[in-house]
Amino acid sequence: MRFKALIAAGLASLLALSACGSDTAPTTNDTPAGGETTAAQGTEGGAGGDVGVFTWWAEGSEKVGLEALEKRFKETFPNDNFVNLAVAGGAGSNAQAKLEADLQNNNPPDSFQGHAGAELFDYIQAEQIVPVNDVMDELGGANVFPQNLLDLISVDGDIFSIPSNVHRSNVAWVNPEVLDKAGVSHDAPADLDAWIADMDKLKAAGVETPLAIGTAPWTQVHFFESVLLAELGTDAYNALFADGDWKDAKVASAVSKYAKLLSFANTGGADDWPQATDMVIDGKAAYNVMGDWAVAQFNEKGKVDGEDYLYWPTPGTDGTFLFLADSFTLPKGAPNTEGAKDWLRLVGSAEGQKDFNLAKGSIPARTDVSVDDFPPYQQSAMESFKNDKIASSIAHGAATSNAWKGEIQAAVSGFWTNKDEAAFVDALAKAAENFR
Ligand code: GAL
């Protein structure tokens, strides 16, 4: 099927991202020839009218990230009226259903947040979004965005959406004071088994919940994808979305280790990611595996990098950047197409990407925003994105369509309740059969 082939091609490009070095990774200080660094194109001051922007950046540090973009948008396009249509719920857990209904009822916002990769191909295939080649050309196209990222948002030369940022999924956030209670080293454990051994020590020293996790199913998918990556390795993990075998013994051992790790986690008390990350911030847990939007929350709460919190790639995944990217669309039938394009111009500008990513914890999708402008966490993420292997996130639309993700999430949720490892593996294999 044509779209499946496109997704496979897109993912192949993504894998090639890591092989491209500093020419394409978004970490250089170079301003490529032809690259525009200003957002002030289109009609001077903006096209005018309401510009309704749909995201799930409604609360906490994510809201702060959106506000940084909003502020710059208002300054750059004073004629436009930003209308915040955000729907709360991490990873779009509530927003995506509302968006789907709105799109089906021909009631689209002016722009909405999507994920580069398989998820975006859903919207393209359903003809719910239209190309934005003109805006991308103004911004500088492949001179300022990595070609292989463009491949994840393009079909037949048409570019659908403007990427705002790149996030890393496989990060363990760590409270060093809690580790000290059990004399556990601050260094990253070498692999999942070493990590499990440290959790045993923490438990024995009286730390009730070494690991924090949300009860929201997506937070469990988020954790599971890191464990799967750790156990399979990058190539076998990535192959799962093409022709890899979900019945492989390594998937079963990943599930067993996931079960073991969950035995060290809270079973309630933290709903979405902010509450789970707060358990680490507040010293109620030692670890939380969360995307790097979490760093914004540590910073928002005045915590100091290297003193109050540490971070490592999820044990067993060092050397791999588990990738996702937010990308803003132009829906078919958007009420204010020209205003929406102003928003896209801002999102894709160097200034917009700097303001936004500083607040959001992610790294710019553009290649011409200086590394030196960013604090140590983002510098480390830029370094990893430039040099490491790349794997694509399930929980955040890079590897799987929304429908496939939904089935994986149902399997993960079922396992949270019944702890039936064989049934979990079967459900994962069935989901792959249904969707690839
Ligand atoms: C992801 C999104 C991130 C962040 C995260 C948590 O899907 O790409 O930007 O918002 O969800 O809500």
- Please write the tens of the pLDDT for every residue from 249-303: 999 999 999 999 999 999 999 999 999 999 999 999 999 999 999 999 999 999 9
Nearest CA to ligand 1 atom 1: 91
CA distances from 377 to 305, 309, 371, 393, 395 (A): 8, 11, 11, 20, 22
90 C-alpha to center of ligand 1: Å? 6
d(CA 221, CA 63) in angstroms, rounded, equals 23
Whether the per-residue pLDDT at 175 is higher than 60: the answer is yes
Tokens of 104: 């089906």
Q: Is 138 in the pocket of ligand 1 (CB under 6 A)?
A: no
Dihedral angle sign, alpha carbons of residues 391, 397, 402, 405:
positive
Nearest CA to ligand 1 atom 11: 91
Q: Is 405 in the pocket of ligand 1 (CB under 6 A)?
A: no
Q: Is 218 in the pocket of ligand 1 (CB under 6 A)?
A: no
Query: Are 312 and 175 a contacting pair, CB within 8 Å?
Result: no
Lookup result for tokens 């803003």: 328
Whether the per-residue pLDDT at 3 is higher than 80: the answer is no
d(CA 87, CA 127) in angstroms, rounded, equals 23
Looking at residue 305, the DSSP 8-state letter turns out to be B
d(CA 278, CA 301) in angstroms, rounded, equals 10
d(CA 308, CA 300) in angstroms, rounded, equals 13
Q: Is 91 in the pocket of ligand 1 (CB under 6 A)?
A: yes
Burial code of 398-429, b = ≥16 C-beta within 10 A, e = fewer?
A: bbbbbebbebbbebbbebeeeeeeeebbebbb
Half-sphere exposure of 150 (CA within 13 A, CB side): 23
Which ligand 1 atom is at minimum distance from the Cα of 397? 7
Helix (H) or strand (E) holding 328: strand 320-328
- Please write the tens of the pLDDT for every residue from 362-380: 999 999 999 999 999 999 9
Dihedral angle sign, alpha carbons of residues 276, 229, 24, 153:
negative
Q: Can you give the pLDDT at residue 30?
A: 38
Q: Is 168 in the pocket of ligand 1 (CB under 6 A)?
A: no
Query: Are 171 and 385 a contacting pair, CB within 8 Å?
Result: no
Whether the per-residue pLDDT at 14 is higher than 90: the answer is no
Residue 342: CB partners within 8 Å, gap ≥ 6?
A: 42, 43, 46, 47, 51, 73, 76, 77, 80
State the pLDDT confidence band at 42, using cuts at 50, 70 and 90.
confident
Helix (H) or strand (E) holding 221: helix 217-232
Whether the per-residue pLDDT at 15 is higher than 90: the answer is no
State the pLDDT confidence band at 31, using cuts at 50, 70 and 90.
very low
d(CA 26, CA 19) in angstroms, rounded, equals 13
Number of H helices, E strands in the chain: 18, 12
Half-sphere exposure of 62 (CA within 13 A, CB side): 22
- Please write the tens of the pLDDT for every residue from 318-357: 999 999 999 999 999 999 999 999 999 999 999 999 999 9
Q: What radius of gyration do the chain's Cα atoms show?
A: 21
Query: Are 80 and 47 a contacting pair, CB within 8 Å?
Result: yes
Nearest-CA neighbor of 330 among 111, 137, 54, 116? 111
Dihedral angle sign, alpha carbons of residues 55, 60, 64, 70:
positive
337 C-alpha to center of ligand 1: Å? 25
Tokens of 17: 């991202």
Ligand 1 mutation target, pool 56, 360, 392, most atoms within 8 A of CB: 56
d(CA 321, CA 290) in angstroms, rounded, equals 13
Phi-psi region of 289 (alpha: psi -120 to 50; beta: other; left: phi over 0): beta
Whether the per-residue pLDDT at 36 is higher than 50: the answer is no
Three-class SS state of 313: strand
